[in-house]
Amino acid sequence: MKFSIPFNGQADLLKRLDKEKITEIYGKLSQDFLGGGRASCINPYVSREKISSCVREAKKYGINFNYLLNASCLGNREWIRSGQKKIRSLLDWLDRIGVDTVSVSSPYLAELIKKNYAFRMTISSMTQIHSIAQAKAWEDLGADEIALSQIDLNRNFPAIREIRKNVKCGIKLVANEDCFFHCPNYFYHANVSAHASQNTLGNYFLDYCMIACRLKRISEPVNFIRASWIRPEDVPYYEEAGVDVLKIIDRGMTTEAILRIAGAYAKNRYDGNLLDLLPHPSANLAVSRSDLLSKIRYFFRPFYVNVFKLYRVKSIMNDFDVYIENRALDGFIEFFLKENCESRSCRICGYCHEAAKKAVKINSGSAHKAKGLHQDFLNGLISGNIFKYR
């Protein structure tokens, strides 16, 4: 199995990675015209010089650089002359600095790139490919690789195998995301994040989807298990099913966190808290002093939101005290090798509930406090009070 590793803007990342199993490093500018799958305010600042430097450094080690152009919505700006000019300007720059691969979610952008540039092309998981028909359609558009939908297929081995049989291009899966199975918020969250990573008006956002999902996990700990992550120990099963590359997230993490996560997946083993391998713990976020100041400036928008009310809930992103014993999940994947969740009711099945009882330990006091903070924040968004000064 090969791995795709996030670029967090830190100069020491590539030097410290074990490069034997790494096929590419991926990333993008903090903001650009097209945008991507993560809001710019949650990632470290990444300049053009940092991207160029990383591309050059990666080539020294024979590693590709995959630039993300995977916004799920381009805001219809691709249909006007000024938008076309900015798209071509960005693509021309990527070509000049030697970027090998681009990830896209737009079929129009896929065709534009394939007919005018020599980039290798990955179809992003943002497109939610979960069927043979979808995979074939993207391959026909020129895809060299497709990233399958993690929320639909990470535990659906028959579907992965059938897609593998029907396409010649590479297959990728996101390894360590904790989105829910068939998450109903995914498309909305993708669109919101797309606009929040574009360097145009309308890029300000408050992450309703993330807070709502965190509240569901705190309220029902089974949701820590009923998610799309892949354990390092289970990597061989995905390789056998035909997956070529596992993508490690997230670009906002520290170099130490990325090294730990990549190391665990390369060794197919991790002893400790499974949450250490997932992107959400705030201790793993790469935030420098300059990044912190830029984030303060980003959220300090007194004409957009009541900044005093927003400041009062700043602790909402602190981690609540949860431990998922990874070793207690040994053998967990075997159920999914035989069963298909598509045709089963979670309420009747109960398999993940039993796994949660064995593996998830949550501090009730910490959980109660966090639940209140999350609920209050959501209430403020839904009622509109967080936007008012009276």
Q: Which of 87, 169, 76, 101 is nearest to 129 (CA)?
A: 169
Tokens of 367: 């959980």
Asked if 111 and 142 count as a contact pair (C-beta separation under 8 A), the reply is: yes
Q: What is the CA radius of gyration of the chain?
A: 21
Antiparallel, parallel or unpaired: β 322-324 and 245-247:
unpaired
Q: In the chain, where are the structural domains located?
A: 2-387
Alpha-carbon distances of 220 from 183, 274, 333, 341, 363, rounded to whole Å: 15, 17, 21, 19, 13
CATH class as words, domain 2-387: alpha beta
Tokens of 95: 């070509």
Q: What is the pLDDT along the chain (390 residues), one digit of tens a residue?
A: 999 999 999 989 999 999 999 999 999 998 899 999 988 888 888 999 999 999 999 999 999 999 999 999 999 999 999 999 999 999 999 999 999 999 999 999 999 999 999 999 999 999 999 999 999 999 999 999 999 999 999 999 999 999 999 999 999 999 999 999 999 999 999 999 999 999 886 688 899 999 999 999 999 999 999 999 999 999 999 999 999 999 999 998 999 999 999 999 999 999 999 999 998 655 555 555 556 677 777 788 888 999 988 888 877 877 678 999 999 999 999 999 988 888 888 888 999 999 999 999 998 888 888 999 999 999 999 999 999 998
What pLDDT is attached to residue 325?
Answer: 97
Distance of CA 257 to the CA centre of its chain: 15
Asked if 37 and 280 count as a contact pair (C-beta separation under 8 A), the reply is: no
Which residue in this structure is represented by tokens 């903090």? 30
Alpha-carbon distances of 384 from 106, 160, 214, 305, 370, rounded to whole Å: 33, 43, 20, 10, 21
What pLDDT is attached to residue 291?
Answer: 65
What does the pLDDT look like over 312-370, one tens digit per residue? 887 787 767 899 999 999 999 999 998 888 888 888 899 999 999 999 999 888 888 89
What pLDDT is attached to residue 45?
Answer: 87
Report how far residue 145's alpha carbon sits from residue 223's, in angstroms, rounded to the nearest whole number: 30
Residue 131's Cβ-count burial label (10 Å; 0-12, 13-18, 19+) is middle
Asked if 172 and 249 count as a contact pair (C-beta separation under 8 A), the reply is: no
What pLDDT is attached to residue 342?
Answer: 83
What pLDDT is attached to residue 347?
Answer: 85
pTM of the model: 0.94
Report how far residue 134's alpha carbon sits from residue 55's, in angstroms, rounded to the nearest whole number: 31
DSSP string, 243-283: --EEE---TTB-HHHHHHHHHHHHHT---SBGGGGSS--GG
Residues 6+ apart with CB under 8 A from 118: 95
Residues 6+ apart with CB under 8 A from 204: 196, 298, 301, 304
Q: Which of 199, 167, 169, 193 is nearest to 179 (CA)?
A: 193
